[in-house]
């Protein structure tokens, strides 16, 4: 699903990642771990196409396509999802509008067809109910005034609505109570058609997910297992 070859990445003038080589197989639940500052978030943001991170050498191959020079929008449309640790509050953009436009863009890119509102609303109601998300949340501004755990549930709703090929979750357990952590783990395990790369420092949470593979970073380099 994802191959990283000899990847070196800078943030400004500082080199954060050095000669990273990594393969993530289709269907994996791949744990990325390491101490704070080891380069985990830098790596996943680079995979997602964050323009603040500059690739100085190497390449990223996603689903047999070289995406090294692709922007974040195209990477998202190709099927890469980033559940960031810190998400922006977007005043004036409702959760409903955000999800609708995201799903419309993905459907059109992947199939060339328009998304019917009937299909969208049917999926929204199913996944909203599954995640125990109140209807009134849908009319609120995206992430504005939501608690950490509530934001995690909104992230899961977006994940389920878009059904990406590859989902990156940067510390999804951070700020989430035990019940929400269980919901996150259950959602991950239920999405058999999605490959996951996730970061976590909590053994209890990673045990809920049962990672299929683990990669450890230290000072911007991969530690040999």
DSSP letters, 14-77, are: EEEEEEEEEEE-TT-EEEEE-STTSSHHHHHHHHHT-TTSEEEEEEEEETTEE-TT--HHHHHH
Residues 172 and 152: beta-carbon distance below 8 Å: yes
What's the mean per-residue pLDDT of the chain? 94
pLDDT-based confidence at residue 225 (cuts at 50, 70, 90)? low
| The predicted structure's pLDDT at residue 223 | 86
Q: With the C-alpha atoms ordered 172, 178, 183, 187, is the resulting torsion angle positive or negative?
A: positive
Q: Is 73 left (phi over 0), alpha (psi -120 to 50) or beta?
A: alpha
Q: Is the pLDDT at 6 greater than 90, yes or no?
A: yes
Closest CA to 49 of 30, 21, 73, 23: 73
- Residues 13-42 have pLDDT tens digits of 999 999 999 999 999 999 999 998 899 999
**Domain extents in the chain:** 2-220
Q: Is the pLDDT at 201 greater than 90, yes or no?
A: no
pLDDT-based confidence at residue 68 (cuts at 50, 70, 90)? very high
Q: Is the pLDDT at 175 greater than 90, yes or no?
A: no
Give the residues across from 213 on adjacent strands. Answer: 30
What is the mean pLDDT of the segment spanning 159-177?
93
Q: Is the pLDDT at 171 greater than 60, yes or no?
A: yes
Instruction: Return the CATH number of the domain spanning residue range 2-220.
Output: 3.40.50.300
Strands of 213-218's sheet in order across = 80-83, 166-170, 195-199, 29-33, 213-218, 221-222
Q: What angle do CA 24, 27, 29 make, to 5 degrees?
A: 70
């Amino acid at each position: 699903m994802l191959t990283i070859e000899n990847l070196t990445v800078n943030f400004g003038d500082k080199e954060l990642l050095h000669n990273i080589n990594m393969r993530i197989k289709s269907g994996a639940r791949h744990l990325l771990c390491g101490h704070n500052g080891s380069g985990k978030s830098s790596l996943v943001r680079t995979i997602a196409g964050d323009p603040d991170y500059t690739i100085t050498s190497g390449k990223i191959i996603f689903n047999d396509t070289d995406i090294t020079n692709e922007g974040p929008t195209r990477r998202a449309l190709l099927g890469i999802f980033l559940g960031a640790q810190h998400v922006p509050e977007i005043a004036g953009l409702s959760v409903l509008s955000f999800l609708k436009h995201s799903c419309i863009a993905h459907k059109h890119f992947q199939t060339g067809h328009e998304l019917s509102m009937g299909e969208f609303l049917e999926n929204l109601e199913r996944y909203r109910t599954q995640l125990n998300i109140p209807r009134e949340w849908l009319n609120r501004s995206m992430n504005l005034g939501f608690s950490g755990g509530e934001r995690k549930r909104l992230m899961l709703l977006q994940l389920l609505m878009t059904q990406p090929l590859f989902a990156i979750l940067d510390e999804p357990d951070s700020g989430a109570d035990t019940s929400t952590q269980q919901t996150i783990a259950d959602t991950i395990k239920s999405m058999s058609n999605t490959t996951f790369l996730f970061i976590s420092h909590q053994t209890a949470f990673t045990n809920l997910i049962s990672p299929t593979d683990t990669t450890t970073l230290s000072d911007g380099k991969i530690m040999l297992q």
